[in-house]
Amino acid sequence: MKQQFLVTAYLLISLTGFSQIERSVVIENKVMAVTRTTYYNNDTTKKEVIKNFYSRTGDDSLEYHDGKLAFWFVAKKDANGKVSELARHVKEGVDEIHIYKYNKNGSYSIEILAHGAGRISLATYDKKHLCMEEEIDASYTLVYVRNAHGKTEKILSKEKGNKTEKIAQFYFDNNGLPVRGEGTTEGGKTIYFKYNDKKLVSETKTVGKEKGVETTETVLMEYEFYEN
C-alpha cells in the first residue's frame, strides 16, 4: 500500500510538473521564479499560492507558501564551480540534502536524502538537463520516455523484480506541445495544459474521481525571468 501510494503521488507530481518545472525548462528559459496558484474543485474563493525561486543554474533557492517562507536552500560547490550539495532549510534546521554527481559525458544525478528517512529519490539527467529516470523510495523507478524534442511522451514504472508498466501517456497539438496527459492505471487522472506566449505552461487542470465524485485541481502559472 505504501509503495502504491508513493507511485501515485510521484505520478501526480510528474503529470503536473513535467513541462513547467523541469530543470531543462528553468535553465533554458532563465526562469527566476514561478508562482503557482491552485484552486480545488473550481472553488475560486479558496486558493493555495506557492512561489518558487531558482538560481541561475536551475537549482531551488527559496519557496514561499501563501506569502510565508517555507524553505530556503544553501548550495555547496565543487572545485569546478558546480553545485555538489544543496541543503534544504526549515526553521528547525536542515530537513533534506540534495547530492549532485556528474559524469564525463555531461549527464548527472541528484539524490535527495531526507533527515531521519534516508534516500527518498534518485533522479538521473542527461546533458540537456532532462530527467530520464527517477528512483522512488528504493522501490520503483519512473522512466520518462521522450520524443526527439525532449518532451515526455509516456511515463513507465519499473518495480524491482517485476515487469515495467506504463502509468501515463501524453498527447500533443500540431505545434508539438503536450495538451493532455492521462494516467493509464486504476484511478488514473487526466491533466490538461494551456500555454502562454513563450510556450510555457500557464495553466494545468487535473481531473479525476474520488468515491465516484469528479474532482478538479486548477493551477495558474506566472513566471519571472533573469534579464541576462
pLDDT at 13 over 60: no
pLDDT at 18 over 70: no
Q: 20: closest CA among 155, 221, 213, 225?
A: 221
- Domain that includes residue 159, residue range: 2-225
**pTM for the predicted model, two decimal places:** 0.88
Residue 7 DSSP one-character state: H
Structural domains of the chain, count: 1
Question: Residue 46, exposed/middle/buried by CB under 10 A (0-12, 13-18, 19+)?
Answer: exposed
| Cell, residue 140 | 520503483
% residues pLDDT > 90 (the chain)? 72
Residue with cell 508539438: 176
In the structure, what pLDDT confidence band is assigned to residue 134 with cuts at 50, 70 and 90?
very high
The pLDDT value recorded for residue 137 is: 80
The pLDDT value recorded for residue 3 is: 43
Mean residue pLDDT across the chain: 88
CA distance linking residue 114 with residue 71, whole number of Å: 14
The pLDDT value recorded for residue 8 is: 46
Report whether 166 contacts 182 (CB < 8 A). no
What CATH number corresponds to the domain at position 56? 2.40.160
Of 53-57, 107-111, 179-183, 212-216, the least confident: 212-216
Segment 122-145 shows an average pLDDT of: 92
pLDDT at 10 over 70: no
The pLDDT value recorded for residue 17 is: 44
Helix (H) or strand (E) holding 207: strand 201-210
Residue 161 DSSP one-character state: T
pLDDT at 146 over 70: yes
The pLDDT value recorded for residue 212 is: 79
In the structure, what pLDDT confidence band is assigned to residue 68 with cuts at 50, 70 and 90?
very high
Segment 92-113 shows an average pLDDT of: 96
The pLDDT value recorded for residue 15 is: 53
Q: 166: closest CA among 147, 153, 179, 148?
A: 153
Segment 132-147 shows an average pLDDT of: 89
If DSSP codes are grouped into helix, strand and coil, which group holds residue 4? Answer: helix
| Cell, residue 34 | 514561478
pLDDT tens string 182-195 = 988 877 889 999 99
